Structure 1
Amino acid sequence: MTAVDSLAGLEDIIARSRAAQARYESGGSQARYDRAAQAVAWAIMEPTRNRALAELAVETTGLGHVNDKIIKNHRKTLGLMRDIRDAATYGVISDDPETGITEIARPMGVVGAIVPSTNPAATPANNIINAVKCGNSIVVAPSPKGVASCEALLDYIHAEFAKIGEDADLVQMIPAPGSKAKTQGLMEGCDKIVCTGSQNNVHRAQTAGTPAVAVGAGNATVIVDETADLAAAAEKIRASKCFDNATSCSSENAVVVVDAVYDAFVAAMAGAGGAVIEDEAAVVSSLWPDGHLNRQVIAQDADKMIAALGLDGEVPEGTEYIAVATTDIGPDHPLSGEKLSRVLALYRASDFDAAVETTRAIQLHQGAGHSVGLHSSDDARPMILARAIPTSRVIVNQAHTFATGGSFTNGMPFSLSMGCGSWGGNATHENLHWRHFLQSTRIVREIPPREPSLEDIFAGYWNEAGK
């Protein structure tokens, strides 16, 4: 098949998507948009289908854990539906007599969503819900390993759409087999790109000539200081690090522990399933045997990870993750980067200020703009971190994976895509949410003049500096 032939099917899908979106918008209403979003949500949340998608994802990608994916599919979708339940995305969304401005919600058009193999059902579902809630159509480009999950998800969505008489062409995917050429064609042919995944895809999305929201690399670092509840911190780090076998970009990749509580925290980690390994060189050689992450370790259950690293008999029975003691940071020290596995880099800092410096160095090496965490009872220290680190989020006394992308116990929007701001080369520093799928038209009317005098603006300046 020639390149031209392979792109012909994509061009047809984009054309159908564009026509469907035009019909959806012209016949739109808030009730219709809300019902379509509910249909997509139930397509993935219905328990039998949720389990089938989770099992298919692990079977075809070899990544993650079935029960955790079931939880993720359910909670991420439920949280998103809570977030958007009362959001106005159709018609007049604000009307301000004081400014004379009336704002009218308008869709983006055709959304092109590039999604990763780590969350081959949850991420596309999140994007699809946001898209249809805001009056868009959407075409999904899954990673090669995620094709089967995406196909199954779309089958479920189309079945739900049939129940409510909604247009199946609103939700499509690029024709299999996927390719870089097709993904590039989608990015160039859609109206808005939403990209989560490899930094190669992110770069291509941001240079495709189409408005894009793409997210930076994760490499979350958390500090445990001398005021922390060590047992609680150890348990939260375990739960977060092990969830879905560390597939999340928000999974802890490094912990920096203040010296005064280092030994006590290592003991707390051991009590929560974490085994400290002192032989850094052995782990590095096994984790990156040819300069690339060992696929027998990436996103695997603990027993498989331990075996692949040659640690059978070297760690206690029941070990759920390993923490490798290290001191170095940078491109020549891969433990300081993202590991996509139940492997944690463990740093020791003389005091809190030194821990901040170590965390900053790690973020500048990899993960700038994403997020950092802090386990502490000192209320002043989150602000210190927020001002010292190039980060969009400081997660305080929480399991990082569960908190960063939205939780029922914090105020962050539910999302699987975290923007990293200018620090990470992204257009947004926010969690990707419904507002990124919506634009607006403003009607601007004349109002009585509100022109200030020079004294209104400059009186304070003149008093200080003179005219």
Structure 2
Amino acid sequence: MLPMNAHDETAQVEAIMARARTAQRAYETDASQERYDRAAQAAAWAIMEPTRNRRLAELAVETTGLGNVPDKITKNHRKTLGLMRDIKGVATHGILSDDAATGITTIARPIGVIGAVVPSTNPAATPANNIINALKCGNAVVVAPSPKGVAACELLLEYIHAELGKIGLDPDLVQMIPAPGSKAKTQAMMELCDRVICTGSQNNVHRAQTCGTPAVAVGAGNVTVIVDETADLAAAAAKITASKTFDNATSCSSENSMIVVDAIYDEFIAALADEGGALVRDAAQIVSRLWPDGHLNREVIAQDADKMIAALGLAGQVPDDTKFLAVETDGIGPDHPLSGEKLSRVAALYRARDYDHAAEIAARILAYQGAGHSIGIHTARDERAVELGRHMPTCRVIVNQAHTFATGGAFNNGMPFSLSMGCGGWGGNAIDENLHWKHFLQTTKVVREIPANEPSLDEIFAEYWAEAGQ
């Protein structure tokens, strides 16, 4: 079979988008809040039903080579359950508010067809999250998976279509660009949809933000966590280890650097060892094996601990129960790759003179990579967390928590459940919050005349005039 040319690929995507528009118009025409809610529930149950969840997790690991099955099962379940908790009872249809004081009635409206670009690190959980949000708000959605994520996405859509059929909804509400994926197909989808939602590589994000369609995209992660002299060291070590090793560090919220103040450095290293974090002092060996040709080693990234250790040439050199590596370094920037995102069970370890020095190191790391995403701190002094929030280029400060679980929403914090974190202006994004249902909805406002509310000049400028004169 001859390969498709760009024209054929575009025509293929155009046909899919046309079906999506037809399905969306019918979905909106006969809409009700109950209908939108049932559709979201159908998509959620498609991934959460235990047998299907396991099959999706197994297929994701099998085809992408990233992460591990038990953690993907947990991620598929908890991220979806948390999202469903967040949107339960939320009004996304009809009149949202009717304010007599302003004379404004606000009406919820779908955006139309959402184009969702999703990564290989979460080939089921991320598209499911986008699909649920899209359906909840009355939209159709077309997904563009990464090449390695195609099989998992296809199976997810098969499950979703089966559930939509049970409630009489058109399967064309949820589609994906046909395999094999290509840049031309993804580009056509982004140009033809009504809003792009993009999670993944910064190359994809750039393409989304320059495609001509309004886009909500997210920035790069490179999480740094500070452990200060007041921290509960055993708890900090346990949380960092659980977070760093979850799904083999595929999450953008996985700790990439730990900055530990000198006063408790040795004690914390001991606590980390108790949890399976092995100290490595030969950073040069790790760098040469982790970036053998200037690119991350695929035998290391997102692999189980034993495979990662073998690929790094550390077999027999670290304890048998090692879960991840803490590599001592002091370098930051492009000539020091350990200071960047590693997508593996490897974390850089920095020793700071004191808390102020730790904050200085963290700022330098974020200036190099990961600005806007998040920073963590383990401390008994909450004012330090607030100080980081006031001065660091970051949208989230995660306090005394396992970062991977906390950043994208947890049942024990107030963040909305999401797999996509906006990074604000620091990360080149239009949003500074977790991607959630509000980004899949638009509104119409009915505006009526009300009694005039025009202030006098004195009401506005009296205090200024008193200080500066007229």
For the aligned pair, the TM-score class normalised by the smaller chain equals over 0.9
**Is the CA contact 1:20–1:167 (under 8 Å) kept in the aligned structure 2?**
yes
Establish whether residue 303 from structure 1 lines up as the match of residue 306 from structure 2: yes
Establish whether residue 336 from structure 1 lines up as the match of residue 339 from structure 2: yes
| C-alpha distance in 1 between matches for 2:209 and 2:250 | 24
Q: CA deviation at 1:86?
A: 1.4
1:435 — aligned with what?
Answer: 438
| C-alpha distance in 2 between matches for 1:93 and 1:254 | 44
Establish whether residue 409 from structure 1 lines up as the match of residue 412 from structure 2: yes
Matches within 5 A, 1:20-35: 20-35=23-38
Matches within 5 A, 1:284-303: 284-303=287-306
Paired residue secondary structure (1:380): helix
1:352 — aligned with what?
Answer: 355
Aligned residue type for 1:383: V
2:48 — aligned with what?
Answer: 45
Matches within 5 A, 1:195-234: 195-234=198-237
Paired residue secondary structure (2:382): coil
| C-alpha distance in 1 between matches for 2:342 and 2:97 | 45
* Aligned partner of 2:146 among 143, 146, 168: 143
Establish whether residue 393 from structure 1 lines up as the match of residue 396 from structure 2: yes
**TM superposition outliers: structure 1 runs of 4+ over 3 Å:** none
When the two chains are superposed, the root-mean-square deviation of aligned CA atoms in Å is 0.6
Deviation by residue 1:393-412 (Cα, 9 ceiling, x = unmatched)? 00000000000000000000
| C-alpha distance in 1 between matches for 2:393 and 2:9 | 42
TM-score, length-scaled by structure 2: 0.99
Establish whether residue 370 from structure 1 lines up as the match of residue 384 from structure 2: no
| C-alpha distance in 2 between matches for 1:230 and 1:22 | 56
Q: CA deviation at 1:177?
A: 0.6
1:80 — aligned with what?
Answer: 83
Deviation by residue 1:138-187 (Cα, 9 ceiling, x = unmatched)? 00000000000000000000000111101100000001110000000101
Deviation by residue 1:209-262 (Cα, 9 ceiling, x = unmatched)? 000000000000000000000000000000000000000000000000011000
**Is the CA contact 1:356–1:388 (under 8 Å) kept in the aligned structure 2?**
no
Aligned residue type for 1:196: T
* Aligned partner of 1:13 among 12, 16, 27: 16
* Aligned partner of 2:271 among 268, 271, 282: 268
**Is the CA contact 1:360–1:388 (under 8 Å) kept in the aligned structure 2?**
no
* Aligned partner of 2:329 among 315, 326, 330: 326
| C-alpha distance in 2 between matches for 1:346 and 1:356 | 14
* Aligned partner of 1:251 among 246, 250, 254: 254
Structure 1: gaps (5+ residues): none
| C-alpha distance in 2 between matches for 1:3 and 1:462 | 65
Deviation by residue 1:85-128 (Cα, 9 ceiling, x = unmatched)? 11110010011000000000011111000000000000000000
Identity of aligned residues (%): 74
**Is the CA contact 1:257–1:347 (under 8 Å) kept in the aligned structure 2?**
yes
1:156 — aligned with what?
Answer: 159
Paired residue secondary structure (1:106): strand
| C-alpha distance in 1 between matches for 2:382 and 2:163 | 48
1:96 — aligned with what?
Answer: 99
Q: CA deviation at 1:3?
A: 2.0
Paired residue secondary structure (1:4): helix
| C-alpha distance in 1 between matches for 2:199 and 2:5 | 28
| C-alpha distance in 1 between matches for 2:31 and 2:170 | 12
Q: CA deviation at 1:2?
A: 2.1
**Is the CA contact 1:322–1:343 (under 8 Å) kept in the aligned structure 2?**
yes
The alignment of Structure 1 onto Structure 2 pairs a total of residues equal to 467
* Aligned partner of 1:59 among 55, 58, 62: 62
Q: CA deviation at 1:4?
A: 1.4
| C-alpha distance in 1 between matches for 2:450 and 2:389 | 41
Structure 2: gaps (5+ residues): none
| C-alpha distance in 2 between matches for 1:3 and 1:81 | 39
| C-alpha distance in 1 between matches for 2:438 and 2:148 | 29
